[in-house]
């Protein structure tokens, strides 16, 4: 009718605008979900999973195994894919099965029973050279220096580089050096390196 406003049409437009504002990016959703992940089983994988889409367009998080040498078998052995469009998207069963294949079952069970937060579990596992629980209690003295097989997170990378620069009395600009970057990124081209202004 003339002079009357179509209320339904304007309401739909407002809802679309609101939905557009509420919709979050894949990365923002990942950051939000990481805060909700409390199971210690996540400590057996690299801290930030990849966001992937399969041939049908289904979105998934791909968790990369944190061991130096993955013992599982299959086409893409280091990856565990968790689809986000399923009812069990928060299930950690696949992650636990994969971790059990790479680490000793005793280690997995101990981690799950303790109910510690992921950060402390990652720190503990990062110090283990292998997956055995006995490695955690080995005498640490003047023996062979061991290194973590788990990649540092961005904050850990900054802390370690600041510590190295301070102890070695190097200028902060060394992180911009081509040789340093080549050494740090060889084999891991996606590895995060902060700029000299970030660490100074």
The pLDDT tens digits of the residues spanning 95-109 come to 888 888 887 777 777
The pLDDT, as a whole number, for residue 138 is 54
Angstrom distance (rounded) from CA 70 to CA 131: 11
Q: How many helices (H) and strands (E) does the chain have?
A: 8, 3
Instruction: Indicate whether 27 pLDDT > 70.
Output: yes
Count other C-beta atoms under 10 Å from residue 31's C-beta.
12
pLDDT at 15: 45
Answer yes or no: are the C-beta atoms of 70 and 96 closer than 8 Å.
Answer: no
């Amino acid at each position: 009718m003339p002079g009357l406003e179509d209320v339904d049409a304007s309401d739909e437009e407002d809802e679309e605008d609101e939905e557009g504002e509420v919709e979050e990016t894949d990365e923002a959703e990942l950051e939000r979900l990481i805060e909700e992940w409390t199971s210690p089983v996540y400590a057996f994988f690299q801290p930030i999973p990849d966001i992937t889409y399969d041939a049908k367009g289904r979105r998934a998080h791909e968790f990369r195994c944190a061991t130096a040498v993955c013992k599982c078998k299959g086409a893409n052995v280091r990856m565990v894919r968790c689809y986000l469009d399923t009812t069990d998207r928060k299930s950690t069963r696949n992650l636990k099965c994969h971790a059990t294949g790479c680490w000793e079952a005793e280690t997995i069970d101990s981690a799950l029973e303790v109910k510690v937060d992921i950060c402390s579990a990652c720190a503990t596992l990062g110090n283990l050279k292998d997956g055995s629980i006995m490695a955690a209690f080995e005498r640490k003295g003047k023996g062979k220096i061991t290194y973590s097989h788990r990649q540092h997170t961005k904050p850990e990378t900054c802390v370690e580089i600041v510590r190295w620069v301070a102890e070695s009395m190097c200028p902060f600009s060394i992180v911009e050096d081509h040789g340093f970057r080549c050494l740090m990124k060889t084999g891991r081209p996606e590895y995060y390196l902060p700029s000299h202004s970030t660490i100074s």
